[in-house]
Amino acid sequence: MATVPEATRCFSFSTDRVSARARVDAVRELGERGVVPVEPLRGRTVHVDITKWFLPGVGVLRGTLSGLCQRAEARATDELFLGVNVSGVSSATQRGRMVPVRHGDAVLLSGSEGAFTITRPTRVRFIGVRAPRKTIAPLVARPQDAALRVISGRAGALQLLTRYVAGVLDAEMLAVPDASRLAATHLHDLIALAVGATGDAAEVAERRGVRAARLQAIKSDILANLGDDALTISLVAARHGITPRYVHKLFEDDGTTYTQFVLGQRLDRAYRLLSDPRCVGRDISAIAYDVGFGDLSYFNRTFRRRFHGTPSDIRHAGGRF
């Protein structure tokens, strides 16, 4: 199992593992420990299912909350907080002003502008990202406009940030050397673009953060639809609103090709299924078709070339061939 480097830490908590009677106390303890400062709302059902990541220069909180008010005190060390409602609605309040945050939208807040609250009476699936203002400010046109600002969910950079967080934060990926630092840089870029990066900073962020986010989103799309033997580059490009040539370039910059990535993922998935004792009763041909191969002879040929053994060899060896 991959281990997360010391530079990257994560914490997970869910009220699903806590009895209904103990939930309120467990949630309050999260605030007391400084994990998530939340207070239950009277008359509402409390629900928490979160993971908090600590990367170099950025913190990420994602999951679902309901029946709660999240509070943040004014901070002497200035941080920017971007809270994205992936689904559901909430409201944010700072310095006596309240704004609604609708499905898909985000709210930008600054700790130096005073304490703020985000209220979620009903269930909201969200992503929260914290970064030092000094890191983001040089990239944007008006860094001072960070007090209770709503960003539309139609903003392309915000959509990319949401997809990027969903795809990049896992132990296997962040176990790669320097991956957590690179992910933090990409998040800085995407925050800056969502807020309003300009000039050279926007160009750098587009070239770096946006390309990484697009590639991550495309890879996630491929993995989700791997069993479709008609998963062409044109189809994937159209789903993401870009050209097939741009997709080719993204994979080329990543040191591979679209075709190589899809083939490799299909072969790896077939290998895992053939090594799984629970799949011992399934025909090898059925597994090949299920992972997206329309030609059984091509599957056998490429499988043997990659794993130096036939699918039957791998199955009989239980993955230890």
Assess if residue 81 is contained within a domain. Answer: yes
The pLDDT of residue 142 is: 66
The pLDDT of residue 140 is: 79
Assess if residue 55 is contained within a domain. Answer: yes
Assess if residue 289 is contained within a domain. Answer: no
Q: 130-180: per-residue pLDDT in tens?
A: 998 888 888 876 656 667 889 999 888 899 899 888 877 765 556 565 778
The pLDDT of residue 1 is: 40
Q: What is the DSSP code (8-state) at residue 209?
A: I
Q: Residue 56 belongs to what domain range?
A: 9-224
Q: In the 3-class helix/strand/coil scheme, how is 257-293 assigned residue by residue? A: CHHHHHHHHHHHHHHHHHHCHHHCCCCHHHHHHHCCC
CA 116 to chain centre: 25
The pLDDT of residue 98 is: 95
**Under DSSP, is residue 226 helix (H, G, I), strand (E, B) or coil?**
coil
* pTM (2 d.p.): 0.77
Cα 226 from Cα 143, distance rounded (Å)? 42
Assess if residue 242 is contained within a domain. Answer: no
Which residue is associated with the tokens 């809270």?
83
Q: What is the CATH number of the domain that holds 57?
A: 2.60.120.10
Tell me the HSE value of 137 on the side-chain side, using a 13 A CA sphere. Answer: 11
The pLDDT of residue 136 is: 86
Q: 255-294: per-residue pLDDT in tens?
A: 999 999 999 999 999 999 999 989 888 999 999 999 999 9
The pLDDT of residue 146 is: 60
Which residue is associated with the tokens 């909180």?
61
Assess if residue 258 is contained within a domain. Answer: no
68-72/38-40 β-pairing: antiparallel
Assess if residue 288 is contained within a domain. Answer: no
Number of domains in the chain: 1
What residues of the chain score a pLDDT lower than 70? 1-8, 75-77, 141-146, 170-177, 318-321
Assess if residue 109 is contained within a domain. Answer: yes
Assess if residue 106 is contained within a domain. Answer: yes
